[in-house]
Amino acid sequence: MSVTKQEFRDAMARLGAAVNVITTGGPAGRGGFTASAVCSVTDEPPTLLVCMNRNATAAPVLKANGNVCVNVVAAGQKEVAMVFAGVTKCTMEERFDAGTWASLATGAPVLQGAVVSFDCQVAEIVEKGTHCVVFAEVAGIRGGSHHEHGLIYFGRDYHPVGKDAG
């Protein structure tokens, strides 16, 4: 049995996932993109993986800087996620006009008001098909309010999630 690219994409649209704005900052400049393919790998050392399209505008900047911040987007930050997803046409630097930014240990931009942000050093990048799998060791964490609702991507649209998210 063979599965087409479209069949795979349609099936994956039925898998709900957290919305994350992935950022990087350093000598190569700032960059970022929106991703739903993020998960924990291990807690010793604390490590996440992030899947990034090889052709993403932010890919060369992320590789050069060697850091990444996984910002788990709050429900009220949908517009920030859309800007970093490329829905709004703007330069990479103009994307950072959406949201308020700080930094932690690595210098990667941390989204203020995110549900949680994981500031990481890139440990390894593995290329597979059209994407790079970025293994990132967590250097710092900034937790947001426990009352913040999250945002998931399901059925090719954004949806709030959490207690009383309605």
Structure confidence at residue 36 (pLDDT)? 94
Asked whether residue 164 is domain-assigned, the answer is no
Structure confidence at residue 165 (pLDDT)? 56
pLDDT at residue 47 tops 90: yes
CATH classification at residue 115: 2.30.110.10
Report the pLDDT averaged over residues 50-55. 96
Asked whether residue 54 is domain-assigned, the answer is yes
Asked whether residue 163 is domain-assigned, the answer is no
Asked whether residue 81 is domain-assigned, the answer is yes
Cα(113)–Cα(116) distance, rounded to whole angstroms?
8
Task: For residue 89, give the DSSP letter.
Answer: -
Query: What are 119-139's pLDDT values in tens digits?
Result: 999 999 999 999 999 999 999
Asked whether residue 109 is domain-assigned, the answer is yes
Structural domain harbouring 9: 5-156
Query: What are 20-35's pLDDT values in tens digits?
Result: 999 999 999 999 999 9
Distance (Å) of CA 2 to CA 5, 7, 8, 23, 94: 10, 10, 10, 36, 42
Query: What are 71-103's pLDDT values in tens digits?
Result: 999 999 999 999 999 988 899 999 999 999 999
Asked whether residue 20 is domain-assigned, the answer is yes
Q: How many domains are contained in the chain?
A: 1
Question: CA-based Rg of the chain, rounded to a whole angstrom?
Answer: 15
Cα(115)–Cα(75) distance, rounded to whole angstroms?
9
Query: What are 55-67's pLDDT values in tens digits?
Result: 999 999 999 999 9
pTM (2 d.p.): 0.93
pLDDT at residue 147 tops 90: no
Structure confidence at residue 70 (pLDDT)? 98
Asked whether residue 74 is domain-assigned, the answer is yes
pLDDT at residue 49 tops 70: yes
